[in-house]
Chains A and B, each alone.
Chain A
């Protein structure tokens, strides 16, 4: 029986960092796919989620409380459940099967949009609602149109809104279950950093997994540092 040792872990880290620094083509390919699907889904979710966050923060209407509760509940959506549902819709027998998106980056983007839109809605709503309520009225009393007053409010909340976008991006980049189910983990096409880590660790390629993990951590760390920087600003 082997003695427990840290050498195996240390060797893995050493190999991983070297592969990451050398720019291993498989690592770079997974990083490219990760960035593509994360940026694409964040962009789409921002277009959908930011206006909803604005409406929930600034308008009073019947059912608003329920809408907020729904968005907050959706924050905790299990990713594999989203993956499974989207899989059902996009599979050949599903209602959206004709789109032929399954096991393509587009399928991962669809799933990620569903997953991260609530993040954007809730964060944007919080950023806008925590703003001084006088911001909009000041703009109106200075002769701004309703549209300009709304835009002024958005500009006042710009750092909070950007932090919301970055948080959503971070969630998308670190997602694994959904990417596995919808993308199929096809090398060079739908294999993201997270799905590659899952695969390599199962194969016992600990070093390679570490290399992928290092790149993923750099992306997530950079995103979080940006958020902290914006929050301080």
Chain B
């Protein structure tokens, strides 16, 4: 069964159509890339999949269940998580930021801290735990945001342009972290301008242009 099933799905902002993908099955095993130029609808698609952007038309299913939006969408928002292109960190310590998702999902006390610390270590930023989030560099902020997403324990991570506007060293570091994470079995969907971003690690690739799907390839060769 595909992780996401989109049926006749369209998102419009006022008069403009941001996304019009019709029917689409996204299996999401390992790493899936969503590629396309600016304005292709990559961010809108990820926000729909994350349950924070209701479609204007059509339905979204996750593992067979229809996804609700708004207050009723809480259950879905706890199964997937989104890291925005320019991630927002709360005015708190780094550790408190990373612990937020686990706390929101109802984990308690020590378990929350243990998850947060483990995720920070995995992203190579355990030493930042006690720092104020406001004082981090761009690369650090992205890694902390990634750690925060990992600490939620979500089934699927949606990462919007995780290496955009990051220097080459940090970009490579983030790419390695994400591909390693995908190798551990976490479902990850990454939006990017660069189709070659994940090299051989991408198991499927969806190409968007002007809000429409122009190609979809899977590792098994189906399209």
Contacts and interface: CB of A to CB of B under 8 A. Distances in A.
B90 A156 contact: yes
Given A134-B84, A135-B90, A156-B91, A140 B77 contact: yes
Contacts of B70: 146
Contact of B82 (A141, A145, A148): A141
Contacts of B71: 145-146
Interface in B57-108: 70-71, 74, 77-78, 81-82, 84, 86-88, 90-91, 100-101, 104-105
A142 B152 contact: yes
Contacts of B82: 141
B88 A135 contact: yes
A139 B84 contact: no
A143 B91 contact: no
A141 B90 CA distance: 13
A140 B82 CA distance: 9
Given A137-B88, A140-B51, 10 more contacts: A134-B84, A135-B90, A137-B52, A141-B82, A141-B84, A142-B149, A145-B71, A148-B104, A152-B90, A156-B90
Nearest to A233: B91
Contacts of A176: none
B77 A138 contact: no
A11 interface: no
B148 interface: yes
B49 to A, nearest CB: 11
Interface string A41-70: 000000000000000000000000000000
A143 B104 contact: yes
B189 interface: no
Interface residues of A, number: 17
A87 to B, nearest CB: 45
Given A134-B84, A146-B71, A148-B104, A141 B91 contact: no
Interface of B: 50-52, 70-71, 74, 77-78, 81-82, 84, 86-88, 90-91, 100-101, 104-105, 148-149, 152, 154
Nearest to A135: B88
A205 interface: no
Nearest to B149: A142
A59 to B, nearest CB: 13
Nearest to B84: A134
Given A137-B52, A148-B104, A143 B88 contact: no
A68 B81 CA distance: 35
Contacts of A140: 51-52, 77
Contacts of A139: 100, 104
Given A142-B81, A145-B74, A132 B104 contact: no
Nearest to A140: B52
Contacts of B88: 132, 134-135, 137-138
A141 B74 CA distance: 9
B52 A142 contact: no
Contacts of A143: 74, 77-78, 81, 101, 104-105, 152, 154
A137 B82 CA distance: 10
B100 A142 contact: yes
22 contacts: A134-B88, A135-B90, A137-B84, A137-B88, A138-B90, A140-B52, A140-B77, A141-B77, A141-B81, A141-B82, A141-B84, A142-B104, A143-B81, A143-B104, A143-B105, A145-B74, A145-B104, A146-B70, A152-B90, A155-B90, A156-B90, A156-B91
Contacts of B104: 139, 142-145, 148
Interface in A114-160: 132, 134-135, 137-146, 148, 152, 155-156
